[in-house]
């Protein structure tokens, strides 16, 4: 018998209800108190469980809901709270850890493996104390049961929790392993009292990385203890995003009930089936893509599931999503403007539930109900349409890519930087920002009204120009050296470009959670791509006309556009990236011709696209570096190319970053101290660097003194001639009342630092 499950489900709401409730609560907006926040959350959980139950999913999760992040929830549940938050408690403590407070810097945030989701990084030291608080976990299980759903409880596994933690001293996170396992055991004791039988899903994705060799020996002792806590608690060891072959060999030695493997992104997991067949472990096979938005080819997946069944010797197993569905938009229900043919190729979280149920039913030889039969017929028609559609293929684009030869700029960096210093004439410790400025309510309304056709283009353009005028004036008054136009015309750094690139489509409501209340709406790259017209020249040129200072052109790089899009799965990503690189290459040529002297090509998502296994990294690095260099190869020597990277640990990729050959790189260091910067010094990095000196993800305003100390710390690592001073990321999510004093303080801090 084959049963269905879902690894996890989106929590933001089908129309971002949680986002609005959170932001209203944080801003103390009238009517948005804690009661409203809790009511919204309870309504969403009930609705999400109902969607899954109604679709026929047999094993549904609780505790996959979070107000911010499941890793933060785990930190909170284990009671391992950094001492700087000692004066806070309850919900105030929870949000202070995530967002910071006047007296406490927010905890570090970084990407969840190679996705665009972010998690809060646990902070440990040798003196860390733990105190279990299981209230949320227990309450949500009971709440689901009241809604008629008996759930599996989702938890971050103890080994993954510690492996993703950072220590603030010279201790090792795993010195706390025994304590953490004890707390998890106490939690399982409480869970065991909830029902006659409870399934608990421990997410252990750390075992799909190359850390598995070192960590695999911990599986047996840890899970022997956890499986012995209570006979009525069944543990599922869940992995996703890649193969977990080393973990499989250890899991089968334990009394673990189930093992979750990703058969979409971890194709080698097929090699584990013989081992699982000869064990007592039940397979949870992730066969429906939880990270992309294309319809599953049901016939192909049913055939694959039957192959699994054969290899397992007829053993019972589960089929479901390859990972949590929080990585895809909620539902297609509200998509009214998409090209019908393109829409027919898509499947969001709610639609994937039906795919899982239909695959399960067909693999079991069951007849589909009327609704299921209709969905199945549409699925077959969609597969045929996508394979043959004229919307997808562009011979001119394919021919241009096939004839590529130039991937390098005309001079070496050492030669270029001399030309640039002479042409640009900026001094020591030049100041700038990363690009975006606050996206005000008025600005959002302006864009929305224009998209709805409620205002004409002239009115819209006047509004954008007014914002740019104000943005330029503020930067001049503030004393910044290199200015930006503020990006008022851009809703999103990828969507904006996608809207102007042929081969893209856009959803109305395809929002995906990035962190906390922050959602992104990735564009849909469905076919060959090209740039019909200039994309940014008009607005950058207008901004430059308003100042005698240098105005930076702002572009998004090809790898980031690729990694932050839902990308067609019928063509190699390297080929698609080259097509995108040519679009950026053409734009740089046009910006130069318009007199723009500094152009920033953001590769914010460069690191997150890295394969999780070393065996695949070389190919990714080659096409990523080649595509960045192809993008900027049209830049003349005197044109300075900047790039920006987010949430990146550079230790393992610094040589790759160097090979990209950008003249200036800005990086996020505010939450990480100077850990990232030291690697630049260690390898003798030649190019100029702009380490972010304050954290823009927190609403707190850093003082002049604080920023002076940060600059002093930077100068201990790199010479002042090599440093730029800037915030650590774009400012679009902040408010003007936060941005203005923060940047003024930054400029004052630089004045003091220059005089040291």
Q: What angle do CA 452, 734, 649 make, to 5 degrees?
A: 110
pLDDT of residue 327: 98
CA distance 26 to 65: 19
pLDDT of residue 390: 87
pLDDT of residue 699: 86
Count, in order, helices (H) and strands (E) of the chain.
28, 23
pLDDT of residue 669: 74
pLDDT of residue 672: 62
pLDDT of residue 756: 86
68 touches 19 (CB < 8 A): no
pLDDT of residue 673: 60
Residue 725 is given by DSSP the state B
pLDDT of residue 491: 84
Which residues are annotated binding-site positions for L-homocysteine? 434-436, 487, 602
pLDDT digits (tens, 9 = 90+) for 15-70: 999 999 999 999 999 999 999 999 999 999 999 999 999 999 999 999 999 999 99
pLDDT of residue 730: 93
Domains and CATH numbers, the chain: 2-8+61-334 (3.20.20.210), 401-438+491-500+533-754 (3.20.20.210)
pLDDT of residue 111: 87
Instruction: Write out the two tokens for 629.
Output: 């260099």
CB atoms < 10 A from the CB of 476, how many? 14
Q: In which residue ranges of the chain is pLDDT below 70?
A: 647-649, 670-674
Which of the residues are catalytic? 697
If you write DSSP's letter for every residue of 234-270 in order, what string do you get?
Answer: EEEEE--SS--HHHHHHHTTS---EEEEESSS-GGGG
Going by C-alpha positions, the residue among 316, 260, 312 that lies closest to residue 290 is: 260
Largest CA distance in the chain: 79
């Amino acid at each position: 018998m084959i049963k269905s499950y879902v690894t996890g489900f989106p929590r933001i709401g089908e129309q971002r209800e949680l986002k609005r409730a959170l932001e209203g609560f944080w801003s103390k907006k009238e009517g948005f108190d804690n009661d409203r926040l809790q009511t919204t959350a309870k309504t969403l959980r009930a609705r999400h469980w109902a969607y899954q139950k109604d679709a026929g999913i047999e094993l549904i999760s609780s505790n996959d809901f979070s107000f911010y992040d499941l890793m933060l929830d785990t930190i909170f549940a284990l009671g391992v709270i950094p001492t700087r938050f000692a004066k806070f408690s309850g919900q105030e403590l929870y949000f202070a850890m995530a967002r910071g407070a006047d007296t406490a810097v927010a905890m570090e945030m970084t990407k969840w493996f190679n996705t665009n989701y972010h998690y809060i990084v646990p902070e440990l030291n040798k003196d860390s104390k733990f105190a279990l608080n299981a209230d949320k976990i227990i309450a949500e299980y009971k709440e689901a049961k009241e809604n008629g759903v008996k759930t599996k409880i989702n938890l971050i596994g103890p080994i993954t929790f510690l492996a993703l933690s950072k220590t603030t001293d010279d201790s090792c996170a795993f010195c706390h392993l025994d304590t953490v396992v004890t707390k998890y055991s106490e939690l399982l004791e409480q869970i065991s009292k909830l029902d006659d039988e409870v399934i608990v899903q421990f997410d252990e994705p750390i075992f799909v990385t190359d850390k598995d060799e070192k960590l695999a020996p911990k599986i047996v002792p840890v899970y022997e203890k956890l499986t012995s806590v209570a006979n009525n608690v069944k543990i599922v060891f869940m992995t996703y995003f890649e193969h977990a072959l080393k973990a499989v060999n250890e899991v089968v030695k334990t009394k673990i009930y189930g093992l979750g493997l990703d058969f979409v992104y971890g194709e080698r997991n097929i090699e584990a089936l013989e081992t699982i067949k000869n064990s007592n472990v039940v397979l949870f096979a992730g066969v429906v893509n939880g990270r992309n938005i294309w319809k599953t080819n049901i016939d192909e997946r049913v055939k694959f599931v039957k192959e699994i069944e054969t290899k397992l010797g007829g053993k019972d197993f589960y089929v479901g999503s390859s990972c949590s569905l929080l990585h895809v938009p909620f539902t297609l229900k509200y998509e009214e403007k998409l090209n019908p043919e393109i829409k027919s190729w898509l499947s969001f979280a709610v639609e994937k539930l039906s795919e899982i149920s239909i695959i399960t039913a067909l693999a079991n030889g069951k007849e589909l109900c009327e609704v299921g039969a209709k969905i199945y017929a549409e699925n077959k028609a969609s597969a045929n349409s996508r394979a043959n559609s004229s919307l997808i293929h562009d011979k001119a684009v394919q021919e241009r890519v096939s004839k590529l030869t130039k991937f390098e700029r005309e001079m070496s960096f050492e030669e270029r930087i001399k030309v640039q210093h002479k042409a640009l004439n900026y001094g020591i410790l030049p100041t700038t920002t990363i690009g975006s400025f606050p996206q005000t309510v008025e600005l959002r309304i302006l864009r929305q009204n224009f998209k709805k056709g409620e205002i004409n283009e002239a009115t819209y353009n006047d509004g954008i120009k007014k914002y740019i005028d104000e943005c330029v004036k503020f930067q001049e008054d503030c004393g910044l050296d290199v200015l930006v136009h503020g990006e008022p015309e851009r809703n999103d750094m990828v969507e904006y470009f996608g809207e102007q690139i042929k081969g893209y489509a856009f959803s109305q409501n395809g929002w995906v959670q990035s962190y906390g209340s922050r959602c992104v709406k990735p564009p849909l790259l469905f076919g060959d791509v090209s740039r019909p017209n200039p994309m940014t020249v008009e607005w950058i040129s207008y901004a430059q006309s308003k100042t005698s200072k240098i105005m930076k052109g702002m572009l998004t790089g090809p790898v980031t556009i690729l990694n932050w899009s839902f990308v067609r799965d019928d063509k190699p990503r390297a080929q698609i990236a080259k097509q995108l690189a040519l679009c950026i290459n053409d734009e740089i040529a046009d910006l130069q011709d318009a007199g723009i002297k500094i152009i920033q090509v953001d590769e914010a998502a460069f690191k997150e696209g890295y394969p999780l296994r070393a065996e695949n990294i070389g190919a990714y690095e080659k096409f990523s570096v080649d595509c960045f260099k192809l993008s900027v190869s049209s830049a003349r020597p005197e044109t300075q190319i900047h790039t920006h990277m987010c949430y990146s640990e550079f230790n393992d990729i610094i040589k790759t970053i160097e090979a990209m050959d950008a003249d200036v790189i800005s990086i996020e260091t505010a939450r990480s101290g100077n850990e990232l910067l030291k690697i630049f010094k260690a390898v003798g990095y030649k190019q100029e660097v702009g380490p972010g000196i304050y954290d823009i993800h927190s609403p707190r305003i850093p003082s002049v003194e604080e920023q002076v100390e940060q600059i002093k710390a930077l100068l201990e690592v790199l010479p002042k001639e090599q440093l730029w001073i800037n915030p650590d990321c774009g400012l679009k999510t902040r408010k003007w009342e936060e941005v203005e004093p923060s940047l003024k303080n930054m400029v004052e801090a630089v004045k003091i630092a220059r005089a040291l």
